[in-house]
Structure 1
Amino acid sequence: MSSAHLINVDFKCIAGSKHRGRGPLVPPAPDPHQLFDDTSAGFPHSQGAPASGIDMGFNTLLTDPVANVAVAYGSSIASQGKDIVHKEIHRFMSVNKLKYFFAVDTAYVTKKLALLLFPYAHQNWEVRYSRDTPLTPRQDINAPDLYIPSMAFITYILLAGMALGLQQRFSPEVLGMCASTAFVWVVIEVLALLLSLYLVTVQSDLTPFDILAYSGYKYVGMILAVLGGLLFGSDGYYVAFAWTSCALMYFLARSLRMKLHPSLAPDGMGHPRGSGRGQTYVTLGAAACQPLIVYWLTFHLVR
């Protein structure tokens, strides 16, 4: 083959390559069966990096032993706090303890009402126990109960409504105010006695239910005072008020004296096993407040 022929062939190849280089780039024809266009090629692959980084960081946090220990410690503290709250609620609002204060019968209610109205002849004020457990009210007249205070509270509200109706002063708002005032005074009295026991550091086996029971016995005297006022006027009210107030103070002084400190119970020789100035102050203070509360809750019902 001659050199001229080789030069001619090379020239054609170069020309053909240049011609192909100048031609426009034609994209491939789309597939007629494809529903959506593929746009993934238009976005850089670097945009997916943050998501993978977050996933890697979250997985690292979960697999970090320090984080696992912190989570476990926090769960343990939350569980302990929940158990403590449930324990305290069960301590103050136990259903079994509440049933104890309503374990009464007709004989107990009759004897207890007589004791509240005339406590001066009663000798033994000590609460009896059986295997370190106090006897129920139906078995021991000295045991506090909540049946008489609750029934007396309801009776007082009904009697107050009747007294207001006889005086042409009855209205649902006034009766509701009377009931709420009586309830608030009981709550204040219970909290004040608990605070007094805490401040003077008195050792006692009194529970909030015990204090509520002793505070609720005043409604028996309030009922008699209002009845005396309705039947015999102001003179009857003051006579009934004086009698029930003295009886209530004597009853509380003797009952709380035995409950505030177990060592105050008499020993085998009939002498008290101990005494304390704090117990005396708390007992006398609680007893002295009863006539004031009774008068405040009843004097406006009698005119």
Structure 2
Amino acid sequence: MQRPAYGQSPPLHHPVPQHVSTVPQLRSPPPPVSQPHSQGYDGSPYQQQQPPQQQGGAPGGNVFGQYGNFMNEPTAQFASQFGQTAFKHGQEYLEQNVMKGWFKFWEIKPYFNVTNSYVINKLFLVLFPWRHKPWSRKQAMGPNGQEGLYLPPRDDINSPDMYIPVMSLVTYIFLETLIAGLRGEFQPELFGYIASTAMVIQTVEILGLKLGCYLLSISNESQLLDLVAYSGYKFVGVIATISIAEIASGGKGTGGWAGWSVFIYTFLANSLFLMRSLKYVLLPENNGDNRSMQIDTRAKRNQRTQFLFFYSYLVQFLFMWILSRP
């Protein structure tokens, strides 16, 4: 080996690797092959096959996905037609058997046929019935001059309506909760308690009226709806009693003399109103039917009169006292 000259550095020799190794490129593993012929044998790149989409939106492997197309089969159409037919026959059965003798829902509509003047005059009549005459309801004249159906409330002040009873019930519930809030006793459950108490009283009253009419052989086509309407007019007197007593007693309730005075007055006014108004329902006059004229004897009429007095005074006193107490 030749030595380098003085002042010169020896040449650098880099080692030459004897074996060159290639670094493999990292690749993600190929997706699983669902079928053996999913990859071509000619060296074409691998194409991933998507799994077949389950009908009905069910994921793969879901048992319920196998039945996702049930609603598209003829069986579903048959079930739909069968359900519609069964519902139609059920509705016809209810109308012909269950609702017959009671009422149909669309018959309530005439009871809400009121005007502003009718509502004001009817409220005045309920609170001041002492000098009102006549009490008989008006009937529409037929084409041949005979009497037909009763006139709606807007055309006859003596006709019962559903508007005043329903609004009076709602007003009573809000008035009671408002008074409880002013006293610092308001709770959310108070709405349900007051509404439940009022509805239970209404239900018991209507059932008692219906039972009395059945025992006394009193029949009327619009009997039930008329009784429901008349049973709700007591809330007018109850609202007047609670409002005046609360103002006069300074929040002490109906225990004072003012509360009891207003309660006695509204109770007597409501009782007289019911005695005069329900006379055509509980004490029907002869309607040309000979059989009904024979049944409607003097003794039967006396029983009906006693029942009307019992309902108008004793029953109303109990229910109005329960609703008016603080």
Scaled by the length of structure 1, the TM-score of the pair is 0.66
Q: Following the alignment from structure 1 to structure 2, what is the Cα–Cα distance between the partners of residues 124 and 212?
A: 22
Percent identity, please. 33
Partner of 1:237: 259
**Structure 1 residues 1-303: aligned runs within 5 Å:** 83-87=92-96, 88-89=98-99, 92-130=102-140, 131=142, 132-233=148-249, 234-263=256-285, 276-288=301-313, 289-300=315-326
Structure 2 CA distance for partners of 1:140 and 1:195, relative to 1, 3 Å? same
Deviation at 1:91, TM superposition (A): 5.8
Q: Equivalent residue for 2:27?
A: none
Q: Between the two structures, name the one with larger relative contact order (CA 8 Å, sep ≥ 6).
A: 1
For the residue of structure 2 that corresponds to 1:224, the secondary structure is helix
**C-alpha distance in 2, partners of 1:123/1:107?**
18
Distance 1:159 1:249 in 2: 23
Unaligned runs of 5+ in 1: 1-78, 266-272
Q: Deviations over 1:102-150 (max 9, x none)?
A: 0000111011011001101012111111142110000000100000000
Q: Distance in 2 between matches of 1:97 and 1:103?
A: 12
Paired residue secondary structure (2:173): helix
Aligned-partner SS, 1:101:
helix
Q: 1:196 to 1:122 in 2, by over 3 A?
A: same
- Decide whether the 8 Å contact of 2:95 with 2:104 is kept in 1: no
Q: CA deviation at 1:250?
A: 0.3
For 1:7, the equivalent position in structure 2 comes to: none
3-state SS, counterpart of residue 262 of structure 1: coil
Q: Which amino acid letter does the alignment assign opposite residue 199 of structure 1?
A: L
Provide Cα deviations, 1:199-231, integer angstroms capped at 9, x if missing partner: 122344552211111000000001001101210
| Contact 2:153–2:161 (CA under 8 A) maintained in structure 1 | yes
Following TM superposition, by how much is the alpha carbon of 1:168 offset from its aligned partner in structure 2, in angstroms? 1.6
3-state DSSP of counterpart to 2:285? helix
Q: 1:193–1:282: 8 Å Cα contact kept in structure 2?
A: no
Q: C-alpha distance in 2, partners of 1:193/1:209? A: 12
Indicate the residue corresponding to 1:56 in structure 2.
none
Count of aligned residue pairs for this structure pair: 216
SS class of match (1:161): helix
Structure 2's unaligned 5+ residue stretches are 1-87, 143-147, 250-255, 288-295
1:239 and 1:248 map into 2 onto residues whose CA distance is: 14
Which whole-Å deviations, capped at 9, do the CAs of 1:154-188 have from their partners, x for residues lacking one?
Answer: 11011000111122211111231111100110011
Q: Taking structure 1 as reference, are residues 189 and 264 closer, same or farther at Cα in structure 2, changes over 3 Å only?
A: farther
* Partner SS state of residue 286, structure 1: helix
What TM-score results when the alignment is normalised by the length of structure 2?
0.62
Matched-pair contact (CA < 8 Å) for 2:275–2:308: yes
